[in-house]
Chains A and B, each alone.
Chain A
Amino acid sequence: MSTSETTESRSRGKAPAGERVADWADGRLGIYSLAKANMRKIFPDHWSFMLGEVCLYSFIIIILTGVYLTLFFHPSMNEVEYHGSYVPLQGQLMSEAFSSTLHISFDVRGGLLIRQIHHWAALIFLAGMFVHMMRVFFTGAFRKPREINWLFGFLLFVLGMFTGFTGYSLPDDLLSGTGVRFTEGAILSMPIVGTYISFFLFGGEFPGVDFVARFYSIHILLLPGIMLGLVVAHLILVFYHKHTQFAGPGKTNKNVVGMPLLPVYMAKAGGFFFLVFGVIAVIAAIAQINPVWAIGPYRPDMVSTGAQPDWYMGFAEGLVRYMPGWEINLWGHTLVLGVFIPLVLFGVVLAAIAVYPFIESWVTGDKREHHILDRPRNAPTRTAFGVAWITVYMVGLVGGGNDLWATHFHLSINAVTWFVRISFFAGPVLAFIITKRICLGLQRRDKDKVLHGRESGIIKRLPHGEFIEIHEPLSQDAMYTLTAHEQYKPAEIGPTVDENGVERKVKASEKLRAKLSKSYYGPDSQIPKPTVDEYKEITSGHGHH
């Protein structure tokens, strides 16, 4: 016993300092087992996999800069007279929140930079999440086993929107105050509980003296706290599931091909954090954002033209702008449909994309794990649905800026609004049809390429004068990649009589599923993959093509 201890301690004494520290930590945290699984973990490479990283890094940047801003910001609506170094507002009455924002912008050296980095990073964070979500959607990366991680990501997007909203409302400037007023109006439209929620949120009538302090704790503690938890869970699941990959030679549903975390992705991903931070810092150096001093402090009886929320709220703004002003008065009560329907639609549109993975897995009935990404063309109905959804979102954005479209393009505001109203219904339908057709066209082209080879650009004249283009056969790599995807068969309604010959009732859900499945995987929704027989027939008949 004693001898083994001495040998151990002696060998420990010889070990390098780093190893001794690691030993110490391992004895308490078990880090070696953790590192064994993760240090050389393989990550596949594709440019689109970096979109999620942009989100992660901008989130970290937001937290870092946000902590700095809390050192100087006063979340208070007490009225003060301004006596800072911004001359045009000298002597003006404003809330402490507004005046401390001016203080950060004009009197704290570097304060403006950090404020602008914070705001730019927030815009990029939301944009990054949107694009990342679309990447995951269109490649089918949300399929089993990743549905829960899709929901985590979705929640991050929604919470990010509200964190952004509560954040840009804090300076209590004329623009953000108008946004808060809009929120109050939207809350008031809720049947039965609207006025109560409004009075509880604002501590009485709008604007009151409470909402900045309340938004502050929501913005810096409650929402980011939840989001931090979700980000960690999201990343743990990414590690646990291992990253998805596109089909290609050597890449199967049972492996993951790429390069190890240490050193390649440590350097690439770690370096990418600095790239994102660096780019945002440069943007903040040259591009002004939210100049609250030019907008002025909030007054409920004042507003400027061209009032716009930050981009991620533009879709909600649009819904409210193009909705007709329906109001129903019955039995002494008012149902404010003109505002309440947009409020509900806002949730419904977002929920539609959130629950999509579950709908698709119900339609396919596929319970297997999927780690190979789809090319969007190979899932035409899904892709078409996604594009239709984006169309609704973009129509909302256009509607949210209808005044800017009108003034910048010299259009009538009424015409823009009517265009948006019609597009809200027609746009997604058109987008769906067009996208599906494009997908099928691309599938046909893939099939053609596999069977007939690639256009080489070389024109050959045959002895009898005919010109043909020489097609070069694809490599086996390329042919495998183009034919690796699976094609589902549409689900049929089972036999309508049971084993005893008694007619059984076909449930409505079963019929719906069969119908959906047909629209997903029926003959009109996918081009059959080229088969080996087709290929052999074409390539064996020489001079056939």
Chain B
Amino acid sequence: MSSQDIPEEKSPAEQGAHVAVADEKHPFADPGLPPHEHRIQDVDERAARRSERTVALLFTVSMLATVGFIASYVAIPHDKSIFVFPIGHLNALNFALGLTLGLALFSIGAGAVHWARTLMSDVEVADERHPIAAEPDVKAKVMADFKQGAKESALGRRKLIRNTMFGALALFPLSGVVLLRDLGPLPGTKLRHTLWSKGKLLVNMNTNEPLRPEDVAVGSLTFAKPEGLEEDDHEFQNEIAKAALMIIRLQPDDIKDKQELDWSYQGIVAYSKICTHVGCPISLYEQQTHHALCPCHQSTFDLSDGAKVIFGPAGHPLPQLRIGVNDEGYLEALGDFTEPVGPAFWERG
């Protein structure tokens, strides 16, 4: 609290300039550091004691809160739920632990800050700055040293050493790059093929039963997968990421696109469920307008018109799967998708 260690206190005369009315000659000149204003704690020992007690109280609260944290950890079962107004139902253990931990930490912080603000010296002090850049003689010394070192290494004179060294240093990181090769297989044509092939039945995703045309009502949206693909298959995630299908039934008269009509069966059309934008599964269907909407980025496709993009960031229509009905009356695929499903890529063409 004393000011004896302040290196650069302004002389009283300079401080006086601040209190006085503006310097007549230089009204905008720097008046220098304003004099220190005492806080109540600096002049009134009783106020200082009050601050001391407040700080100590805060630290004590922190100790109690930590005890509370441990007690909560031991006492509260981890699946108990409590109602806290106005937040609602909370996990009791999480609530108690978080609150006690928060209080324990916050009180330490509040105590320390209160201590600093009320009891530690608040006299502002000035420190000098020095330019970051070195003085010319320092620079000259460094340059001379560097030249000497470079000369002694003879790097500039013995070009053969220099060039082969650069060559070696440039080449060796290639080993590290090569090692990355086995991070994954090459793409090949994998993105062009799905599990669908001629004769594969369309299986309802929810019931796991093969679909018949009469199962698909007008206006409904059904999700399907290829027969034989089960959820516990090792490759399920990778395969369903490409093969997921969206099936709707339209009035054949409503179908505007010629190919769509050809590839449909009694107004039942099957489109890839994977958005051609960045691959989200499309899951919203508006039956009045036959629009399908991707909930991720709002690309909108007109399923009655070749799944053309009518809004949003997708760049091309959803691929359609050509379907028919087999001898037993089940919907089946008449081949794989004829173009890659999902987001576009360089080799897509």
Give the interface of A toward B (CB within 8 A): 40-42, 79, 85, 93, 106-107, 109-110, 112-113, 116-117, 145, 178, 181-182, 184-186, 188-196, 198-208, 210, 240-242, 249-260, 263-265, 267-268, 270-282, 284-287, 298-307, 320-327, 329, 332-339, 369, 371, 402-403, 413-414, 417, 450, 473, 475-477, 479-480, 483-484, 530, 532, 535-536
Contact = CB atoms under 8 A, between A and B. Distances in A.
Contacts of B186: 196, 199
B238 A274 contact: no
A194 B90 CA distance: 45
Contact of B128 (A112, A198, A200, A255): A255
Contacts of B13: none
B124 to A, nearest CB: 5
Contacts of A320: 277-278, 297, 313
B297 A267 contact: no
Given A299-B240, A301-B241, A417 B27 contact: no
B182 to A, nearest CB: 9
B101 interface: yes
Given A93-B232, A303-B296, A182 B107 contact: no
B22 A369 contact: no
A198 B270 CA distance: 28
B103 interface: yes
Contacts of B345: 188-189, 194-195, 198, 334, 336
B22 A473 contact: yes
Given A255-B129, A264-B121, A326-B315, A249 B102 contact: no
Contacts of B106: 274-275, 278-279, 281-282
Q: Which of B10, B106, B205, B344 has the most chain A CB within a 10 Å cutoff? A: B344
A403 B277 CA distance: 16
Contacts of B163: none
A178 B32 contact: no
A206 B241 contact: yes
A336 B93 contact: no
Most buried by B among A284, A285, A324: A285
A403 B298 contact: yes
Contacts of A182: 278-280, 296
B97 interface: yes
Given A321-B298, A338-B314, A106 B79 contact: yes
B238 A207 contact: yes
B310 to A, nearest CB: 10
Contact of B298 (A210, A417, A475): A417
A278 B104 contact: yes
Given A204-B185, A275-B106, A301-B273, A250 B126 contact: yes
Interface stretch (B41-49, B112-120, B249-257): B112-120
B184 A200 contact: yes
Given A255-B128, A535-B28, 13 more contacts: A182-B280, A199-B187, A205-B238, A206-B279, A250-B33, A274-B108, A303-B281, A321-B312, A327-B316, A334-B348, A369-B131, A403-B298, A476-B21
A481 B5 CA distance: 28
A332 B180 CA distance: 29
Contacts, number: 363
Given A279-B106, A483-B28, A250 B97 contact: no
B84 interface: yes
Contacts of B311: 414, 417
A267 B59 CA distance: 13
B347 to A, nearest CB: 6
B237 interface: yes
Interface string B1-36: 000010010100000011001110011111111100
Nearest to B24: A536
A189 B343 contact: yes
B87 to A, nearest CB: 5
A103 B270 CA distance: 40
A249 B32 CA distance: 5
A184 B312 contact: no
Contacts of A204: 184-185, 190, 238
Given A110-B73, A327-B315, A271 B125 contact: no
Nearest to B74: A109
Contacts of B28: 450, 476, 479-480, 483, 530, 532, 535
A263 B120 contact: yes
5 contacts: A199-B185, A208-B237, A268-B117, A335-B346, A480-B28
B132 interface: yes
B237 A207 contact: yes
Contacts of A332: 347, 349
B298 A338 contact: no
Contacts of A193: 346
Contacts of B95: 285-286
A264 B32 CA distance: 23
B228 interface: no
B346 A333 contact: yes
A32 B240 CA distance: 65
Contacts of A195: 187, 191, 345-347
B127 A271 contact: no
A185 B185 CA distance: 18
Contacts of A324: 313
Interface string B311-349: 111111000000000000000000000000011111111
B40 to A, nearest CB: 18
A178 B73 contact: no
A475 B22 contact: yes
Contacts of A250: 10, 30-34, 126
A535 B284 CA distance: 70
Contact of A199 (B184, B244, B346): B184
Interface in B50-96: 73, 78-79, 84, 87, 90-91, 93-96
B267 interface: no
A263 B125 CA distance: 13
B98 A113 contact: yes
B33 A206 contact: no
A305 B284 CA distance: 9
A206 B237 CA distance: 8
B237 A333 contact: no
Nearest to A179: B296
Given A278-B103, A371-B129, A181 B120 contact: no
Contacts of B117: 268
A280 B8 CA distance: 41
Contacts of B241: 181, 205-207, 300-301
B110 interface: yes
